[in-house]
Amino acid sequence: MVDAFPAAWLGLPALKMKRGDTYWTLTYGELQEHARSLGNALLAMGAGPGTRVGLISENRSEWVITYLAAASAGAVIVPYDILLKSDELASITRASEAKIIFTSAEYLEKVTKAAAAAGMKGTLVLFDAGAEAAGSGAAAAASPAGLAFDSFASVLERGRALRASGQDRYAAAKIAPDDLVALIFTSGTTGVPKGVMLSHRNLVENGDGVQQSTELGPGDNWIIVLPFHHTYPTSMGIFTPLLTGGMITPVPAMKTNVLISTMKETGATCIPAIPLLIEKIYKGILTNVKAQPPAVRVLFRVMLGVSKFFFKAFGIQLGKVLFKSVARELGVLKLRFFISGGGPIAKEIIDGMDALGFSTYQGYGLSETSPVISATCPAHNRPGSVGLPLVNVQVRIDNPDENGNGEIVVRGPCVMLGYLGMPEKTREVLDADGWLRTGDLGRQDADGYLYITGRLKNIIVTKGGKNIYPEEIENLLLQSPLIAECVVIGKLDKEGGEYPHAIIYPNPDALKAMEAEAGKSFTDDEIRKIIRAEIKKSTAGSAVYKIPQGLRRVQGGAAQDLQFQGQALPVCRGEEVASSWPLARPCAKARSRPSSVADM
């Protein structure tokens, strides 16, 4: 892909990153030169076809350059999750057999420990200027013999010098479309980590499918705040922009102030995001309004109502004019769209963002599909749907029930090669005809729009034989501005059936706004009553058997069961998240959400 940049693009900005108080920008021509030189250096270091090259750092320009250089040289990129603990990272480093790992100063100590524990013999290349000196100090002292340290700048310059002297191994590198290019590993310290094998064809075809679904091109500025180690931001933050002449602007931290500052300073047009980020933006706007004088609150509600009506009835987005001051404050005056992936996003959030003038689309996919399967877009946007399948992806519903719900199976050039060293696991999900079982439940309407209804293993079956899809209830609960996060799981009753059990994390900002309006701090009992009321309100239109009916508050590390119509519901105040939320995590992890786009 790097060598195929059109000549007309070579002077366009391709990559932008803040360095201190100023931005560092590479044109397409400069990015091409960096990738070729770094790729040449990697080949000189022995990173030929099939060699595993690890990547772990915050989002930054060097991450993108390294990815493109390693891929173009025929190496296999192994993106490591920045949240992995040292022992987890060691397990995956061992399984991936990485010979070179690129990292930053922030992760140097953890990577060094993991490499040592994995018995790695190779090189750690450090992005930060002068970081190789740090590597030769305390970190290097703890590393075994055979583990060397180098710097990104030095490696890049060596590759450039070798090319200038006629030693250009990069130019002779041969890559086939179906060659392995990326290994996406699951985390964990027990057993063998599962590695999803993706080819050059997988990633490029997926990016091409995305760019064919909507109009994209030079002038688009892609703000990438989601960590690059996920396949979703790799696709939407590297391949799609570079296939369409757009500019990539990595954001180094998932912090609201950093994101807003970057959007303001660079003029964001396209923002891949997860539901939580979009919900936080939307609910943050509503919370700020609640803190305003009564007249302002009334005016806002009227304007929002009018905007929703015009958008729904005529497709006219008045919010771009009515709420221009909000857009200016967020730094999204040039915004074309948010694209949500990683889990279900409530229709109320999308409708609210559209009414504010912030077009919000959503997609669906998983690591095994490189990752995007379907997505909504300006021309094809149906409420509640995750859109039409990409033009180069086939989708069918396997064994649908009377409502059309069945397992989503997928075929196309984006489907993975398989799981590394796990032929049996591969055969469980991928058949001889190329159809991949996603494990997700869904349905398609008469026009082919796809709707996600649940996870195959997550269905809650009541004693009366009723099937409950947890995501359906979660989507309802998440429409409440008072609920920041929730997960619904099944719990066994005395008769062997299941009932829906909800775990709620309230929105602390919304609670504080209510307290400010009431002129007092709420007691624990008052918070319980508020959440009970929100559950009843959010699920008012649902069948009785679908409604979570309980409250359990986690406090001080001890769980106190407070029966509420026979159902338990852990609740904590926002400021207690550090001590309380981890106690609820085992419940939240008891099942996986549908594998939406950013799940990769």
Return d(Cα 525, Cα 547) in angstroms, integer: 21
CATH architecture of 459-588: 2-Layer Sandwich (3.30)
Cβ 549 vs Cβ 567: under 8 Å: yes
At residue 233, the 3 state secondary structure works out as: helix
pLDDT tens for each residue of 105-134: 999 999 999 999 999 999 999 999 765 545
Q: What's the chain's average pLDDT?
A: 86
Return d(Cα 183, Cα 96) in angstroms, integer: 8
**∠ CA(146), CA(149), CA(155), 5° rounding?**
120
pLDDT tens for each residue of 297-317: 999 999 999 999 999 999 899
pLDDT value for 464: 62
**How many CB atoms are closer than 10 A to CB 87?**
13
Q: Which two tokens stand for residue 145?
A: 């013999």
Among 108, 115, 117, CA closest to 137: 108
pLDDT value for 500: 86
How many C-alpha atoms does 451 have within 13 Å on its Cβ side?
Answer: 20
The single-letter DSSP state of residue 127 is: -
Give the total residue count for the chain. 600
How many C-alpha atoms does 543 have within 13 Å on its Cβ side?
Answer: 10
Q: What is the 3 state secondary structure string of 190-222?
A: CCCCCEEEEEHHHHHHHHHHHHCCCCCCCCCEE
Is it the case that residue 455 has pLDDT exceeding 90? no
CATH for 2-193 is 3.40.50.12780
pLDDT value for 244: 97
Amino acid occupying residue 521:
S
Identical fold for domains 271-456 and 459-588, yes or no, is: no
The pTM of the full predicted model, rounded to 2 decimals, is: 0.81
pLDDT tens for each residue of 381-404: 988 899 999 999 999 999 998 989
Q: What is the DSSP string of 346-397?
A: -HHHHHHHHHHT--EEEEEE-GGGSSEEEE-BTTB--TT---EEPTT-EEEE
Topology of 271-456 in CATH? Rossmann fold (3.40.50)
Percent of the chain with pLDDT over 90: 65
pLDDT value for 347: 85
Percent of the chain with pLDDT over 70: 87
Q: Domains of the chain: which residue ranges?
A: 2-193, 271-456, 459-588
pLDDT value for 137: 53
Return d(Cα 260, Cα 251) in angstroms, integer: 10
Largest CA distance in the chain: 78
Return d(Cα 104, Cα 55) in angstroms, integer: 9
Q: Which two tokens stand for residue 30?
A: 């400069």
Cβ 339 vs Cβ 229: under 8 Å: no
Q: Which two tokens stand for residue 62?
A: 């060097």
CA gyration radius, the chain: 25
The single-letter DSSP state of residue 315 is: -
Least confident of 9-13, 21-25, 406-410, 473-477: 473-477
**∠ CA(352), CA(353), CA(359), 5° rounding?**
135
